[in-house]
Structure 1
Amino acid sequence: MIRPFKTLALALSVLVLSSGCNLFDISDTEGTRGRGATAFDPYASSASGAISLSLMAFKGCAILPSGEPVTKGGLDLPQYPDECLFLNDGFPLPAATRPPTARLTVSPGQLYFLREFSVMDTVQNVHADYNDRRTPAAWARLQSDFKDLDWSGLTTGLDDWVLLEPGVFQRETLYENAAWMISNNDTFLLEVLDTDGNVRATETYLRTDFLSESSSAGRTRVSFNVSGLAPPLFPDDPVPRVAMTRESIDYVTSVKVSFANSTNPFKSFAMPQLTGEGVIRVTWSLLPGKPFHFPITFVPESDRPATCFEVGPDGLPTDVPTACGFGLNQTLKLARPQNGRFHQAGENIDFVVSLQDGDGHALHPRDSMPSFREFMGEDSNGLSYFNSYMLVNWRDGSATESGYKVVGPLQDLTVVNGSYTTPYFSFPNASEPAYYIHPAAAFRPGGHEHRPTTRYTVPLPADAKPGTYAILLKGHRNYLGERLNRLDPFFFQVGQETPTTYPGRIGNCQVCHNGANSLSNVHHGVSVDHVETCKVCHFDETVGHSSDFMHRIHINSRKYAQNKGDCTVCHLTRESALRPSLIACAGCHPGTHGNEYKYLEFQNLTSPPNIYGNCANACHLATPPTEHVLPPR
């Protein structure tokens, strides 16, 4: 059984477009506050008008974003299991089930809207023939929890290799084009039931009410996954080989149905004024005979314990307890530079992190954050940490990936191609952020009880270049049914008082990503103004290269109505569109050149040539693809 040892992060992103957006109406700015017809901010707590509701289930059991299964308590609910598999028991999952104890809590009387519906069925190490792609597909169609969907038209799609860690690869075959996958007129009936089974609230959501469902974004996917592989000896090598650092190869077949990020958060419903237990029932029009059940516990506002803290005049927590509210706000106090104006190369950057709810209450004491045990036990006021099991079993680690990264200067934040050496300062100097609790440390002896500090020191290099630097805080919270992700930059000057800014080579995201569909409302929660910070993490195959998944998401999206050969929509400079590589081009053109350069996928990324190499050096600079619309010279 493999215990978490590092982030095995996949390229997950949800920068996709609404089917109903007016592509060239940019009058609504990113992050507009309020609850108007085209503006929404989920981080504004109760002031946003409605709270986003996340519903997740694994093999018939509702789960929390921590991965813990939800008990049905005292409900008479024969359709819901008495015992569940526990995602956090390891990978591969042991077959044993046991009664769950976690609770999915909601606030009675509060307006909610459905922001995410994600359900999954999977089997591990059952289909263990490396060369058989038919049997996993047959299980999905004939035996999985989703066997009653319309599977006509199913085809074998992308066959993708991903680097998990040095020398260890994962091969995943996706299945595509089934009738249910390409349906666009199905609906989801959400009902809130009391303990007697009476419907107390109801709302119907359209499939088009959700922004993200793409497998490229880690959402809806049917796949056969083989992990722990050594590189193949040649293209289409039929013999699987165990990586040197692994004991075995693992086989996972899964069907995941996931729709997220509401395009219509104004379609809300009032959670009934009840106490005790209840059920949220979701009936998918494509599975009318198999509704999904999510046991809930009603927690009135008056019963919320005083586990948060008042914030003092300095913006940091006091020791005065108070009840928590909804939302997530990340703040940061930066120590003054030695000369009082800007930091110098070689100085330390000292800062204190304060994570708060949308009403300005601190979610932790002044000097420490909750432990991993408290997070897993729902005793962290909703604050979430990275959980490797959610990545390998649920196929999504982004829900609990909290930490920070220091980068700069902004003008040097260019895309990294084929090297782990960044052309700018980065702490840590890796694709992953500095986690508040590292996933490996969480499972070491005593790691569950460790409470991370809120105070951090990052030394600047002696040759730090002048300009504006950024501390990027990445946070996640799950509270009373509300699941939020966000990323906030905090800036400071090094070597000069004059601010600098991003290179400005890509942009225009606000053309479609505005109002309810703004980037600050999806996935990591980064504003369109700071979209160029994506590259400081997404620059290798472990977490996904931005040029790969950004192309893949948009080219495969039915909701992206633009000419998909028009590079000028996102590329602001000609130079940024003229650095083709296998990883960049494959997002739109999988299988380009066949197996001719397949070996590059398995080369050391620090030694060119590799999959990120510049194909323009050989062929494409002189003759860029004629079907592409490029920015002018």
Structure 2
Amino acid sequence: MNLHQKILLLSLVVLASGCDVLNTTDAEGTRGRGAKAFDPYSSSASGAISLSLLQFKGCAILPNGLPVSAGSLNLPGYPSECIHLTDGVPLGEPRPPTEVLTVTPGELYFLREFTAMDTVVNEHTDLNDRRSPAAWIRNKSLFKDLDWSGMTIGRDEWRALNNRGSFQRETLYENAAWMLSDDDALTLEVLDADGNVRATATYKRKDFLAENSTTGRTRVSWATLGLLRPRYPNDPELQPDPDYGGLLHLTGVKVSFANSTNPFNTFRMPQLNGEGVIRVTWSLLPEQPFLFPVTFMPEPSREASCYKLDADGLATTERVPCGFGLKQKVSVAKPQNGKYFMPGDTVDFRLSLQDGDGHGLHPREALPTFNEYMGGKSNGFSYFNEFMLVTFRDASSSESGFKVVGPLQDLQVGYGTYKLPYFAYPVTSEPFYYLDPGAPYLPRGGDVAPPTQWSVTLPENAKPGTYAIFVKGHRSFMGERLNRLDPFFFQVGQEKPTVYPGRVGNCQLCHNGVNSLDNLHHGLSVDHVEACKTCHNDETVGFLPDSIHRLHMSSRKYKQNKADCTMCHLSRESTLRPSIQVCNSCHLQSHGSDYFDLKFERFQNTPNSYGNCAQACHVSTPPTQHVLPRQ
């Protein structure tokens, strides 16, 4: 292809995609995107605060899963008793909610996320009957009045839940008329305690970037967790895994639109004090408004629960009111030679979590406890939350911790083994959690305060280069819900920095401005997109090539030629790693059931579905229907 042809092709991509491909004025290595005069993702310093509204079975919930009380308000249609997700599964009996959703009067807000879900647990237990879950979805769920015409069975697949042999089988229901709509809208109204509308704004559904089940968004499905692998394709006698603790059947409808592409569509929270309500009316359910009781808390009324920092950025004992936002800071102790660490050295570092105004969210030596988080006493900082992950299917904000990897130049996707060509701590897919997911259920686990100082020992054969501490955090404060994933670098074996392999990229062609990657999902800048593979290296958290392909192939906003691998793959080598996991991300049941057994082999076994098919059949026959990089 000559230069003229390449320019013509790029022009066609711009026209087809709607992405402002040629606008590369944003510096992708900085926090906060959008127009310089109005940066909607800079929290306290921004032109507007992002607002997330969550609802479960008719009740507004906080991001920790606890339901919100209507207080003294008389809200027809709002339940007086709510399910507490924190009761675990199966779901407990409804009881009066007690939590409060606070917002700041006088602040500009914009709707960044609207998510509502209905589900039943262990009601549909016949693994060979897909009709009954579909009937509940269409006729009994809180979303029964949507237009379900045209609904079909989509993906029906198995996924590993862990590396101990437990699996999940899930049937996705797709193509209903309401799912395919893109001309509907959400009307948001802020009402005072007397029911008077004091502010309003309308948001088009097509202006939200994310509504994809891959990222935990809109999802209509029936899933069974805790199964052993089937003996053969279409095995009707599926068996429970005795080590999982019993089968869990989840039938759910989740409607979720997130990440506004037009955050400049703002409304001012009215100057009120006390109780009120935010009412969201979806044009597809005009007679079924979604209610979110709120408490207006003026800024002077905020409790001084954050900490003033000293000149070194460490928390003092002086308390100050918290602001919006989340900053994550890491201080790495100097190596012995003052320049770089050596193989076998221990890397000591200290963590400081702050709001957007630079106030500490925690004391100098300790992070909040799990019980403080669940009790609303963690200044909004969030931990791994199994309740939200399993039942609410919340995939983006269910864990806080860190991972240490390096050197950067050796990072690559896992190909069916944990024998990685680079150092990783921990070596498996999950990060190191500040609080282990099991900790709250151990004696005193909920009252344990994790430290702010951590140590990781490098292996004796650590390769030279640049290493990174990736810090992952989540915070919810006054209606704002943020995810952050930040890298902090140190050198091993040499002073000269090294860089990522450069096998994939170009994300900034579409992900720029307010839609930059560090404003989406986990909050990792596009500069570090190749680091995603360090956690997403198996199916338990989402195998990266599988997840990325599914996300874009099924997105109505990604209108490029889906067979053109050159959009994201920068090297030919990166496209020549076909595997069952990769190919099935776009081509359902590639090879049918010919390699059925490989799907259920554990990640560390060989061969498995993550393995490189190119080393076997496809070494001389790379995919012929795809446009691959030449080099």
- Please give the range of the TM-score, normalised by the shorter of the 2 chains: over 0.9
Q: Distance in 1 between matches of 2:595 and 2:252?
A: 30
Q: Distance in 2 between matches of 1:567 and 1:294?
A: 43
C-alpha distance 43-317 of structure 1, shift in aligned 2 (>3 A): farther
- Residue 419 (1) aligns with residue 420 (2): no
Query: What's the counterpart of residue 192 of structure 1?
Result: 190
Q: Distance in 2 between matches of 1:230 and 1:439?
A: 23
- Residue 502 (1) aligns with residue 500 (2): yes
1:33-112 equivalences under 5 Å are 37=35, 43-94=41-92, 96-112=93-109
Query: What's the counterpart of residue 5 of structure 2?
Result: none
1:127-164 CA-to-partner distances (Å, cap 9, x unmatched) read 11110011111111111000000001100000121111
How far apart are residue 606 of structure 1 and its match?
1.6
- Residue 148 (1) aligns with residue 117 (2): no
Query: What's the counterpart of residue 428 of structure 1?
Result: 426
2:33–2:41 Cα contact (<8 Å) kept? no
Query: What's the counterpart of residue 213 of structure 1?
Result: 211
How far apart are residue 19 of structure 1 and its match?
6.6
How far apart are residue 397 of structure 1 and its match?
4.2
1:189-338 equivalences under 5 Å are 189-338=187-336
How far apart are residue 549 of structure 1 and its match?
0.6
Q: Distance in 2 between matches of 1:497 and 1:247?
A: 50
C-alpha RMSD of matched pairs (Å): 1.4
Query: What's the counterpart of residue 5 of structure 1?
Result: none
2:146–2:178 Cα contact (<8 Å) kept? yes
- Residue 123 (1) aligns with residue 120 (2): yes
User: Which residue identity lines up with residue 485 of structure 2 in the other structure?
Assistant: L
Q: Distance in 1 between matches of 2:233 and 2:33?
A: 54
1:180–1:286 Cα contact (<8 Å) kept? yes
The percentage of aligned residue pairs carrying the same residue is 62
Query: What's the counterpart of residue 12 of structure 1?
Result: none
Of the two structures, which has the highest relative contact order with CA contacts closer than 8 Å and spacing of 6 or more? 1
Q: How many pairs were matched up? A: 615
C-alpha distance 575-33 of structure 1, shift in aligned 2 (>3 A): closer
Q: Distance in 2 between matches of 1:36 and 1:468?
A: 30
Q: Distance in 2 between matches of 1:50 and 1:296?
A: 18
C-alpha distance 435-41 of structure 1, shift in aligned 2 (>3 A): farther
Query: What's the counterpart of residue 24 of structure 2?
Result: 26
Q: Distance in 2 between matches of 1:36 and 1:237?
A: 52
C-alpha distance 479-421 of structure 1, shift in aligned 2 (>3 A): same
1:152–1:179 Cα contact (<8 Å) kept? yes
User: Which residue identity lines up with residue 223 of structure 1 in the other structure?
Assistant: S
SS of structure 2 residue aligned to 1:385:
coil
SS of structure 1 residue aligned to 2:86:
helix
Query: What's the counterpart of residue 574 of structure 1?
Result: 572
Query: What's the counterpart of residue 377 of structure 1?
Result: 375
User: Which residue identity lines up with residue 632 of structure 1 in the other structure?
Assistant: R
Q: Distance in 1 between matches of 2:80 and 2:516?
A: 40
Q: Distance in 2 between matches of 1:322 and 1:27?
A: 37
Query: What's the counterpart of residue 472 of structure 1?
Result: 470
How far apart are residue 197 of structure 1 and its match?
0.4
Q: Distance in 1 between matches of 2:375 and 2:510?
A: 39
Query: What's the counterpart of residue 627 of structure 2?
Result: 629
2:215–2:396 Cα contact (<8 Å) kept? no
1:102-149 CA-to-partner distances (Å, cap 9, x unmatched) read 111100001100000000000111111110011111111111000000
User: Which residue identity lines up with residue 157 of structure 2 in the other structure?
Assistant: D
Q: Distance in 1 between matches of 2:440 and 2:346?
A: 27
1:43–1:328 Cα contact (<8 Å) kept? no
Q: Distance in 1 between matches of 2:31 and 2:455?
A: 34
User: Which residue identity lines up with residue 599 of structure 1 in the other structure?
Assistant: D
2:405–2:425 Cα contact (<8 Å) kept? yes
Query: What's the counterpart of residue 394 of structure 2?
Result: 396
How far apart are residue 590 of structure 1 and its match?
1.1
Query: What's the counterpart of residue 359 of structure 1?
Result: 357
1:333-364 CA-to-partner distances (Å, cap 9, x unmatched) read 11110011111111110011000000110111
1:367-425 CA-to-partner distances (Å, cap 9, x unmatched) read 00111001001110000000111111101143131001111010111111101222211
1:604-631 CA-to-partner distances (Å, cap 9, x unmatched) read 2222110011111222231222220000
Q: Distance in 1 between matches of 2:39 and 2:582?
A: 33
1:571-606 CA-to-partner distances (Å, cap 9, x unmatched) read 000000011000011111111111111221111222
How far apart are residue 25 of structure 1 and its match?
3.3
How far apart are residue 248 of structure 1 and its match?
2.2
Q: Distance in 1 between matches of 2:325 and 2:40?
A: 7
Gaps of 5+ in 2: 1-15
Q: Which runs of 4+ in 1 moved over 4 A?
A: 31-43
- Choose 41-50 or 463-472, whichever is displaced more: 41-50
How far apart are residue 503 of structure 1 and its match?
0.5
SS of structure 2 residue aligned to 1:398:
coil
C-alpha distance 397-629 of structure 1, shift in aligned 2 (>3 A): closer
Query: What's the counterpart of residue 545 of structure 1?
Result: 543
Gaps of 5+ in 1: 1-17
C-alpha distance 42-267 of structure 1, shift in aligned 2 (>3 A): closer
- Choose 71-80 or 485-494, whichever is displaced more: 71-80
Q: Distance in 1 between matches of 2:622 and 2:57?
A: 48
SS of structure 1 residue aligned to 2:445:
coil
How far apart are residue 30 of structure 1 and its match?
2.4
SS of structure 2 residue aligned to 1:620:
helix
1:452 to 426, 450, 453: 450
1:405-457 CA-to-partner distances (Å, cap 9, x unmatched) read 11101011111110122221111111111111111012211011111110001
2:159 to 150, 157, 162: 162
How far apart are residue 319 of structure 1 and its match?
1.1
User: Which residue identity lines up with residue 464 of structure 2 in the other structure?
Assistant: P
Query: What's the counterpart of residue 114 of structure 1?
Result: 111
1:115–1:265 Cα contact (<8 Å) kept? yes
SS of structure 2 residue aligned to 1:127:
coil
Q: Distance in 1 between matches of 2:105 and 2:201?
A: 16
How far apart are residue 37 of structure 1 and its match?
4.3
Q: Distance in 1 between matches of 2:525 and 2:236?
A: 45
Q: Distance in 1 between matches of 2:44 and 2:345?
A: 41
After TM superposition, the score normalised by the length of structure 2 is 0.96
SS of structure 2 residue aligned to 1:531:
helix
C-alpha distance 329-34 of structure 1, shift in aligned 2 (>3 A): closer
After TM superposition, the score normalised by the length of structure 1 is 0.95
Q: Distance in 2 between matches of 1:37 and 1:453?
A: 38
Q: Distance in 1 between matches of 2:245 and 2:215?
A: 30
